[in-house]
Amino acid sequence: MLRRSAIPSETTAMTIETLAAPPKPTAQKTARWTTAQARALFELPFADLIFRAQSVHRAHFDANEVQMSTLLSIKTGGCPEDCGYCSQSAHFETGLKATKLMTVEAVKKAAAEAKAGGASRFCMGAAWREPKDRDLDAVCDMVREVKAMGLETCMTLGMLTKPQADRLADAGLDYYNHNIDTGPEYYGKVVTTRTLQDRLDTLEHVRDAGMAVCCGGIVGMGEERDDRIGMLVTLANLPVPPESVPINALMKIKGTPLGESAAIDGIEFARTIAAARIMMPSSVVRLSAGREHMSEELQALCFLAGANSIFIGARLLTTANPAKEKDDALWAKLGVRPMEV
């Protein structure tokens, strides 16, 4: 028998439902989530927040399925942007050697290896401010070849013009990734070479071209909780919320301005995952960079909070990722199975 004190009072239950539930759908120009509502989620007792997130998750996904993705850097380093977290920026001395765009055949080989390793989604990233039109022929060929293997395709190439977005869509690209990185108030402390509006403009071109949007951010860059709230509110209030929401924990790179940032607390990170799940219930929430430094327990907590995609493989663009054997052992402990596209 439950002790009376263990049963939420009517007032407590109403508070949880009122503050943790999104408003009813409204016109696109009206905010689905206010900052106050999002902050109320973060301030819920942890057990209540996780319960709410898990309930939302189960209403939209199989709670024991996680999408396995692989991320390949198809062109590394030499980027003119000054993103303070990035080893590929030409502004910082990180010891990273710049490379040219990979050949289509090399990308095909990597995609085949990723599929053999259990990936159902293949993501390709190039360190550009924006792609040049002359590069799009090869990039579009990569999309066609990878898609022909039966893999879900995603690319991140920087900012896009509308014609460039249309070309990628015509090639069959499923998702385009373009993260907003952080909340509006903290954005200028992360990058100065392009604005938040620049990023939103690219997302609009992607959406108008008919591709799905992959957009999230990075936590642990010295931001406050309100900045994480601002990031999620911005994402949730896009005309259509992103179908894919990567939440990255900062990978500290020596030589970058944000490389000495204090690590985010694990419970706070799980709260961020849970809030993302509740605020964007039908989106795939991706536990992206940073797993290499997370305990099995923290990763399990993130899955419980609603994360349902991870990257597999030894590398994430330029940083380390857990080894396959380590991941396989964790999936066995948790009873996790790969999500089918």
The whole-angstrom separation of Cα 35 and Cα 94 is 37
Tokens found for residue 100: 């040219």
**Which residue has tokens 């040219």?**
100
Which residues, including other chains, have CB under 8 Å from residue 11's CB and lie 6 or more apart? none
Where in the sequence numbering do the catalytic residues fall? 79, 83, 86, 123, 154, 214, 286
Residue type, 186: Y
**Which residue has tokens 């062109």?**
75
Q: At what angle do helices 266-279 and 225-236 cross, to 10 degrees?
A: 20
- Specify which residues 121 forms β-bridges with: 69, 152
- Specify which residues 75 forms β-bridges with: 126
Which residues, including other chains, have CB under 8 Å from residue 162's CB and lie 6 or more apart? 205, 208, 209
Residues in the chain: 341
